[in-house]
Amino acid sequence: MHIPVTGDGIADSTHTITHWGIVGARIETESGITGWGFTGTHAFLPGDRLIASCIRDCYAPLLIGEEADRTEELVKKILYYPAMQWIGRAGITQLAIAAIDTALWDIKAKKYNMPLWELLGGATKDVLPAYNTDIGWLSIPLDKLADGAKRAVESEGFPGVKIKVGSSDSTIDLKRLQAVRKAIGPEPMLAIDANGRWDLQTCLQFCKEAEAFDIYWFEEPMWYDDVKIHAELARQTRIPIALGEQLYTPDAFKNFINAGAVHYVQPDITRLAGITQFLEVAEIIHENHLPLAPHVGDMGQVHVHLAFSHKACSMLEYIPWIKDAFIEPICVESGYYKKPVLPGVGTTPTKKALEKYVVG
Ligand SMILES: [Mg+2]
């Protein structure tokens, strides 16, 4: 499915998009349970077709006829299938497996007639604060940015917001940051996100000035895979570093954590080959006494379950683009997530959405 984003489209420092892409897997069982799972993309159809063919042609034949609720065993089978592992331990293969893994967990949760958070042992918290990212795109002009942030905090009750930075001239971002802090006042959480755009020198200069605005975290300041420069930035600024949305494996997370290069860790099931590996990474994060703040490539549909259930997680990002395509949309009231109630993992689409948004 390709589902329109807010307004005519949005941009950050690196991406310009008009639709969110949902590339999915539907798994049917002999007992009549249907599991749904998906990964998130920028709705680039040729790329989406590659993921879909990876699901259909490479992994589906390995699963047909298997016992559907042997979740971890089946995920391991496709994750480490030698001929596929040879060509992809990152990228398209992980996105494809994410859709399948999520569908398998959906089957299990439906079989036990529970929402995923309950299947995973129950909620570890009563309240889950949401922070709003959809007010903060780089494509939003300054006056609208400040107004939107103020409205999110004052009228809609969000305890926090995140705004994009990473312009070619970082003084523009400082002005935007200053305006938003002024508009929302000193209390609400305010995070920034450069989507990997800047270099160390730019970040160091920027952070020196930005420290005055009480930044909750600085997300993806520099190139996604470079551990060394993030560790260096972490040593030289008081602003905490957040990252993880572009990491594909538990080892990649270990490398950043062991180097002291990350303070808020942001795994995402849609890139991390699904819920099974997410849980593995969540344990690593927890063992290292770091906070987990999921990125929402699924726009929160599954992550809301994981955030309620895992002890390392105390907040969740909010972007409302695709929620109405599902029979149980994510729901934020007065800035806090509601616990899902339906059995499954939150990925069952409505018939209407399938009719309206499915593309070739
Ligand atoms: Mg981000």
**Sheet strand arrangement including 19-28:** 2-4, 19-28, 34-41
What architecture is domain 2-114+352-357?
A: 2-Layer Sandwich (3.30)
Backbone angles phi, psi at 238, to 5 degrees: -80, -15
pLDDT digits 0-9 by tens, 224-242: 999 999 999 999 999 999 9
Going from the Cα of 219 to the center of ligand 1, the distance in angstroms, rounded, reads 6
Going from the Cα of 27 to the center of ligand 1, the distance in angstroms, rounded, reads 30
Residue 360's pLDDT is what?
77
Q: Domain map of the chain by residue range?
A: 2-114+352-357, 119-347
pLDDT digits 0-9 by tens, 46-62: 999 999 999 999 999 99
295 CB-near residues (< 8 Å, 6+ apart): 244, 245, 266, 267, 268, 317
Q: How many CA atoms lie within 13 A of 132 on its CB side?
A: 27
Q: Which amino acid is at 235?
A: R
Rounded to whole angstroms, how far apart are CA atoms 100 and 66?
Answer: 13
pLDDT digits 0-9 by tens, 320-358: 999 999 999 999 999 999 999 999 999 999 999 999 999
Going from the Cα of 245 to the center of ligand 1, the distance in angstroms, rounded, reads 7
Q: For the chain, what is the mean pLDDT?
A: 98
pLDDT digits 0-9 by tens, 147-193: 999 999 999 999 999 999 999 999 999 999 999 999 999 999 999 99
Going from the Cα of 88 to the center of ligand 1, the distance in angstroms, rounded, reads 23
Going from the Cα of 142 to the center of ligand 1, the distance in angstroms, rounded, reads 20
Going from the Cα of 268 to the center of ligand 1, the distance in angstroms, rounded, reads 11
Rounded to whole angstroms, how far apart are CA atoms 112 and 165?
Answer: 44
Which two three-digit tokens encode residue 267? 């795994």
- What fold characterizes domain 119-347? TIM Barrel (3.20.20)
Rounded to whole angstroms, how far apart are CA atoms 66 and 295?
Answer: 31
pLDDT digits 0-9 by tens, 293-307: 999 999 999 999 999
pLDDT digits 0-9 by tens, 266-298: 999 999 999 999 999 999 999 999 999 999 999
pLDDT at 221 over 80: yes
User: Which residues surround the ion ligand 1 when the cut-off is CB under 5 Å?
Assistant: 193, 219
Going from the Cα of 65 to the center of ligand 1, the distance in angstroms, rounded, reads 39
Rounded to whole angstroms, how far apart are CA atoms 251 and 249?
Answer: 5
Residue 2 host element (H or E): strand 2-4
Going from the Cα of 251 to the center of ligand 1, the distance in angstroms, rounded, reads 20
Going from the Cα of 121 to the center of ligand 1, the distance in angstroms, rounded, reads 29
pLDDT digits 0-9 by tens, 58-81: 999 999 999 999 999 999 999 999
